[in-house]
Amino acid sequence: MRELTEQEQVRREKAEDIRAMGMDPFGHRFERTHTSGDIRKQYSDKTGEELEALNIPVTVAGRIMTKRGKGKAGFMHIQDRDGQIQIYVKLDNVGEENYNLFLKADLGDIVGIEGTLFITHTGELSVRAMKYIHLVKALRPLPEKFHGLTDIEERYRRRYVDLIMNEDSKRVAFLRPKIIRCIQNFMDNRGFTEVETPILSTLLTGASARPFITHHNTQDLDMYLRIALELPLKRLLVGGMEAVYEIGRVFRNEGMDPKHNPEFTLMEAYLAYSDLEGMMELTESMYQTIAKEVFGKMTYQFSGYEINLEGPWKRISMADAIKEKTGIDFKTDMTLEQALALANEHHIPVEEHQHSVGHIMNLFFEKYVEDTLIQPTFLYGHPIEISPLTKKNPNDPRFVDRFELFIAGKEFANAYTELNDPIDQLARFEEQLKEKNLGNQEANDIDNDFIEALEYGMPPAGGIGYGIDRLCMLFLEQESIRDVLLFPTMKERS
C-alpha cells in the first residue's frame, strides 16, 4: 500500500473532523445560480455603488485555488469551468462553525458559496459570502502554485491536475469541441449526413498502416481495429446516401511523436458526383469557416511559422514540386532502373516493395519537398503505386486524381477522385497483396464485399480524409498532438 505523505495524512484527519461535524466530506448535489463567467459577463461593467444598491444574490461553487487571511475575515479564489472568482469570507456573515471550516480548508477543496456581489478596494469583482458550504475534501495537495506540473509527461498522464493548474490546457479542452461542432454544422449545411461505421473489421483496408489486432471470443475470430473510415462510407454512396461523413477514432499500431498518436480522430467525407476540385473547394471553405466562426482570425502561429488561411491556396503537382527542388522530371518516361539509379545517386534507400518508379518518386518528394510546403498547399498528381483507392488521371494513367493538403510541412488532409471501377479496384487490391507478400506490413487486404458493392455501381465521387487532431493543433497553435488530446497514449510509469 502507498505510504501517505504528512500533508495527505493531515487532510484525511480533516475529512474525519468534517464527518464528525455531521457533514459528508465528499458532498452532495449543489445548485448554482452563476458561474464565474456568468458573473463577469453580466456585471463587470457595474460600479461598486451600483452593485451595493442592487444587492445581487449569487450562488457559486468551485475549487479553492488561493486562500489568505486570519482573525475574523479572509479571502480566497475559487475556480470553476470558466475561471476564478474572489470570495470574501467574514465571521460575522457566515457564523462561527462555517468560518472555522473556511480557516481549516485546504487548497484544492471544493466549496459552495451563497452571497452578494461587490467590488473590493482594489477594484476586483467579488462575492461577499453569506453562507459557506463545504462540498468536497481534497485528499491530495495541488502542485506548487507558480509551477504546476512542470514534468510534461506527468501533465499528459495526470490531465485532471493539468486542467486544474493550467489555463491554456483548459482553453484547449473547451475549444476543441467547438471546432468539431463547427465542422459538423458546416458539413450539415452542405447537405452531408453524419453516420457511424464499424470500429472492428476482419480486413485491413482503407489506408496504409499497421493495425491493432484483437480477438472476438464467441466467433473465435481475429479482428482489426479500423485504420480508416473509407470503405464503409463508400458502400453508403452505392446505397444512395450520396453525401456522407463520419468523425471517429481510428487506430494505427505505429510510433508516437509530436504529430502521431496510436489512436486519433479522423473525419472522412464522400460526395457523389463530385471530384478532386470539389474536395479542394470544400476543404478551403471549411478551414476558413472554422477560422472566422470559432476564432475570428485568419492567421495562426504554428510550427514556427505564421500561417495565413486566406485563399486562394496554392496548387502544385508532385512531379512539378520535385522538379523545382531537384531538376528531376518524373513526368518523363522513366524505367525502374533509371529511377533506382537516381535514388542511389541521391542517397535515398529503397525497400524491396518500393521497387517502382512511383514509389521512388514519392521517396524523392518526402526527402526534398514535403518540409518546404509551409503555407496551405494542395499537392496533387500522386503516382498510382501509392494510391490504391484512387481514380487514374485520364490524361496520364501513371498518376491518380488525388491531393494532399500540406501546411507547415505537415499533411492535413488526403483527397481523391474516388475509384469506382470494380475491375480496376480488384487489380489494385491484388497489387497490394503482392506488396504485402514482399514485406509491406501496411498493404491492404482484398475486400471482396467492397468489390461486390462497386459492381452494383457507385456514382462518380470525391472523397477526403482530415486529421482532426492535426487540424486542432493548427487552430489552437499547439506543437504536439498530445496537447490537443485530453488523454494521449502514454508509456507506463517506470
The residues near 421 (Cβ < 8 Å, ≥ 6 apart) are 391, 454
Q: At 281, which helix (H) or strand (E)?
A: helix 276-290
Beta strand pairing status for 57-70 and 73-80?
A: antiparallel
Does the pTM surpass 0.85? The reply is yes
Note the pLDDT of residue 150.
Answer: 66
CATH of residue 112's domain is 2.40.50.140
Last residue within a domain, chosen from 111, 142, 173: 142
Is the same domain home to 129 and 170? no
Is the same domain home to 119 and 199? no
Is the same domain home to 264 and 181? yes
Is the same domain home to 135 and 170? no
Last residue within a domain, chosen from 93, 108, 142: 142
Is the same domain home to 119 and 193? no
d(CA 101, CA 200): 53
Is the same domain home to 47 and 169? no
Please check whether residue 391 lies inside any domain of the structure: yes
The count of structural domains within the chain is 2
d(CA 98, CA 89): 10
Is the same domain home to 27 and 132? yes
Long-range pairs, 339-348, Cβ under 8 A, ≥24: none
Is the same domain home to 134 and 254? no
Please check whether residue 323 lies inside any domain of the structure: no
For residue 415, the enclosing domain spans 165-313+375-483
Please check whether residue 318 lies inside any domain of the structure: no
Nearest Cα residue to 420 out of 386, 461, 365, 388: 461
The residues near 277 (Cβ < 8 Å, ≥ 6 apart) are 462
Please check whether residue 105 lies inside any domain of the structure: yes
d(CA 479, CA 258): 7
Note the pLDDT of residue 158.
Answer: 92
Please check whether residue 22 lies inside any domain of the structure: yes
Note the pLDDT of residue 68.
Answer: 93
Is the same domain home to 417 and 285? yes
Please check whether residue 87 lies inside any domain of the structure: yes
Is the same domain home to 13 and 58? yes
Is the bond preceding 198 in cis, omega lying within 30 degrees of 0?
Answer: no
Nearest Cα residue to 287 out of 171, 190, 183: 183
Is the same domain home to 136 and 178? no
What percent helix, strand, coil does the chain show, rounded to 5?
35, 25, 35
Is the same domain home to 126 and 11? yes
Please check whether residue 120 lies inside any domain of the structure: yes
CATH of residue 387's domain is 3.30.930.10
All 3 cell numbers of residue 295?
476564432
Report mean pLDDT in 10-residue bins for the chain, 494 residues.
92 96 95 98 96 97 93 96 97 96 96 98 97 98 70 88 94 98 98 97 83 95 94 97 98 90 97 96 98 98 98 96 97 95 96 94 97 98 87 91 96 94 91 79 82 97 97 97 95 76
Please check whether residue 353 lies inside any domain of the structure: no
Note the pLDDT of residue 147.
Answer: 55
Note the pLDDT of residue 97.
Answer: 95
The length of the chain is 494
Note the pLDDT of residue 365.
Answer: 97
